[in-house]
């Protein structure tokens, strides 16, 4: 009987190990829909009483106990915050220049992070080693970086105003420019950058400074090799909105989306397919898989897709302000973080909803 008992014991242990591995380090964690989660709210306010606006916009999550958000404050303090599973704390950047903003954050761990934005008249590009933020010196590039992403090879990409593209190959930053020729006086910027299916994709927005007509571009390629894949403008009543021009989202489950004014689009066979139409705009997206997806935006928009239907879940947050804005979202199905901000009252505060 002893050999049989030993075999059964080993099989039982193996089954337990598999079960624990499938559920993560906590065997009690289960996937929950937003309505099954318990929601709490943390309010971030300016670290200086003189600050009137604290507006976080982007989020980076290494684990649910290691969360970073970044954005804007009118006193150039409290631009980056970190959550350790218990409390949000400011991750202070010391700068001696004029106006400053941090637009996005990307990296490999909480001791190897990069962030971008502007400081004075130049781009802001800084590295965090787990203790201190250090600005990348000797760049001398005028303008502003607006968005970041990381590709499967570990390269970090950033894009910004006047066609600026930057790539970090894990040893150095390389700068390039996507040049777009206009037959009229124009200003343009690169709003969003993502990797998908072997290419880097970029959304560009332009403004005819004479007529104030906007035109949008969908660009793909790599350093020193960029192609305008498509464009659109709204100068005519018959103009068609082909994609969402506020941002791109390349998911971990190999789906590619754009979002913005009008809703959500999915990129399929080199075409954009509208997946959800809305009145107003979507500001951010994130999903565990294609059957568990959030899209959040202006005027209290917080939507959840379960693979069959999109549902409006704003009632979970008991909102009063009709202009309340949801900026961005992250989820793994076990926990969810949603960045938002108020517009009623003073000062403007960032509220981070946490569901689990």
Looking up tokens 């300016």, which residue turns up? 46
pLDDT digits (tens, 9 = 90+) for 130-185: 999 999 877 889 999 999 999 999 999 999 999 999 999 999 999 999 999 999 99
Supply the pLDDT for residue 97.
56
Contact of 298 with 280, CB cutoff 8 Å: yes
- The whole-angstrom separation of Cα 179 and Cα 184 is 14
Give counts: helices (H), strands (E), the chain. 1, 26
Q: Please list the residues that pair with 72 across neighbouring strands.
A: 55
Supply the pLDDT for residue 55.
92
Supply the pLDDT for residue 63.
97
- The whole-angstrom separation of Cα 64 and Cα 79 is 20
Q: For 277, phi and psi rounded to 5 degrees?
A: -95, 135
- The whole-angstrom separation of Cα 59 and Cα 80 is 10
The helix or strand, by DSSP H or E, that contains position 20, with its residue range, turns out to be helix 2-23
Supply the pLDDT for residue 26.
56
- SS3 assignment, position 2: helix
Q: Which residues contact 295 (CB under 8 A, 6 or more apart)?
A: 259, 263, 264, 276, 282, 284, 285, 301, 303, 305, 310, 329
Supply the pLDDT for residue 236.
77
pTM of the model: 0.89
Structure tokens at 216: 């949008």
- SS3 assignment, position 88: strand
Residue ranges in the chain modelled with pLDDT below 50? 1-24
- The whole-angstrom separation of Cα 211 and Cα 233 is 13
Supply the pLDDT for residue 14.
39
Supply the pLDDT for residue 95.
67
- The whole-angstrom separation of Cα 51 and Cα 124 is 21
Supply the pLDDT for residue 96.
55
Distances in whole angstroms, Cα of residue 11 to Cα of each of 24, 153, 161, 237, 302: 20, 38, 59, 68, 45
- The whole-angstrom separation of Cα 25 and Cα 76 is 39
How do 214-222 and 301-305 pair as beta strands?
Answer: unpaired
The two most distant CA atoms of the chain are separated, in Å, by: 90
């Amino acid at each position: 009987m002893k050999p049989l008992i030993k075999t059964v014991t080993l099989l039982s242990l193996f089954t337990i190990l598999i079960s624990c591995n499938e559920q993560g380090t906590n065997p009690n964690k289960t996937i929950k829909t937003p309505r099954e989660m318990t929601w709490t709210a943390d309010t971030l306010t300016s670290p200086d009483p003189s600050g009137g606006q604290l507006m976080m916009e982007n989020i980076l999550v290494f684990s649910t106990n290691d969360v970073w958000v970044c954005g804007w404050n009118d006193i150039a303090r409290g631009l980056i915050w970190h959550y350790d599973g218990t409390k949000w704390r400011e991750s202070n950047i010391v700068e001696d220049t004029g106006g400053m903003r941090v637009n996005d954050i990307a990296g490999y761990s909480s001791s190897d992070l990069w962030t971008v934005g502007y400081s004075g008249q130049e781009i802001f590009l800084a590295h965090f080693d787990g203790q201190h933020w250090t600005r990348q010196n000797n760049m001398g590039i005028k303008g502003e970086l607006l968005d970041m992403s990381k590709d499967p090879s570990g390269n970090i990409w950033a894009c910004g105003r006047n066609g600026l593209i930057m790539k970090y190959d894990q040893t150095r930053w390389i700068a390039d420019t996507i040049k777009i020729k206009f037959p009229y006086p124009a200003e343009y910027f690169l709003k969003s950058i993502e990797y998908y299916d072997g290419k880097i994709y970029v959304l560009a927005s332009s403004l005819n400074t004479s007529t104030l007509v906007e035109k949008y571009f969908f660009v793909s390629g790599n350093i020193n090799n960029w192609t305008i894949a498509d464009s659109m403008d709204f100068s005519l009543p018959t103009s068609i909105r082909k994609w969402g021009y506020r941002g791109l989202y390349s998911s971990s489950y190999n789906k590619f989306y754009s979002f913005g004014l009008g809703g959500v689009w999915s990129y399929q066979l080199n075409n954009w397919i509208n997946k959800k139409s809305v009145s107003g705009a979507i500001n951010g997206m994130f999903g565990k898989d294609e059957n568990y997806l959030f899209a959040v935006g202006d005027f209290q928009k917080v939507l959840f897709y379960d693979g069959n239907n999109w549902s409006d879940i704003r009632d979970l947050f008991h909102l009063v302000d009709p202009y309340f804005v949801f900026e961005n979202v992250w989820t793994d199905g076990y926990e969810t973080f949603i960045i938002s901000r108020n517009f009623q009252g003073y000062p403007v505060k960032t509220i981070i909803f946490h569901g689990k």
